[in-house]
Copies of this chain bind each other. A is one copy, B any other.
Amino acid sequence: MESEKNFLSEYKIENYERPSVTADIVAFMVRNEAEKSYRKNSDNKLSVLLVKRGCHPFKNQWAVPGGFVKQNETIEECALREIIEETNVAPSALMPSLVFSKPDRDPRGRIISNSFISIISEEAVNAVGGDDACDADWFDISFTQDNNFFKLLLENSHTKLSALLKEKNHSFGRTYFEIIDTGMLAFDHAAIIASALSLLRIQAKDYDVIFDFLPEKFTLTALQRVQETILNVSVLPANFRRKISDYVIETNEFTVGAGHRPAKLFTRK
């Protein structure tokens, strides 16, 4: 009887069919719009990081950042490495989303994409400043449903991408999308973004992921705006505060010079 040691020394992994594997990261940020009028709080926008592809396939089209998994790293490590390479910032959260594995999803051949959600605070992004290369940019997201169809609109000051998706399947709380129109996004990245966003919304409901969009110390109003921006709803401040009180600890610090009553700063519990 063959021993396990002998078996392993004879085993040639390259004799078997192997796909390529990538980690692709949908990086979200909630950012403040430029302030409109004196003393008013600014509006927030949910935005996602896209990179303009410099090489084939889909050259010059926009895609979410990502790359091939190396032999000595986990897919999570790969995702973290790729998003840091792209932004120069360590994300405050990284969470697996879906795996995309249709055999023909990439014209180069069999490439399986492990998609991730990463969350980056605006403060962190501003600290490193924009990469002048201009091949990466944040796009404001609008994601609206009309019956079984979803319209994904990604927009920055130069470019507007509009993808159309259809709900293929809704099971166990997750929505699975089929692409009707890629909106000039590379590969199946329209579906990757839509899936990530619908997962982000699920998570944002239970007061978990929303903290990662803000610096360590924050006001309750800022936290409320993050949740409202992600979920595209609005709630009454009194009720939000009652509910969130279980998840935060108050500090002795306050905002200053805002032109109205100072707000107490809180930290996450």
Contacts and interface: CB of A to CB of B under 8 A. Distances in A.
Nearest to A58: B4
A208 B112 CA distance: 29
Contact of A16 (B68, B75, B93, B208): B68
Given A103-B71, A208-B172, A13 B20 contact: yes
Interface in A148-194: 171-173
Query: For chain A, what secondary structure do more than half of its interface residues adopt (helix, strand, loop), or is it mixed?
Result: loop
Q: What number of copies of this chain does the assembly contain?
A: 2
Interface residues of A, number: 48
A98 interface: yes
A42 interface: no
Contacts of A21: 18-19, 21, 112
B8 A69 contact: no
Given A71-B103, A74-B102, A96-B99, 8 more contacts: A7-B57, A8-B108, A13-B108, A13-B109, A16-B20, A17-B68, A71-B110, A173-B206
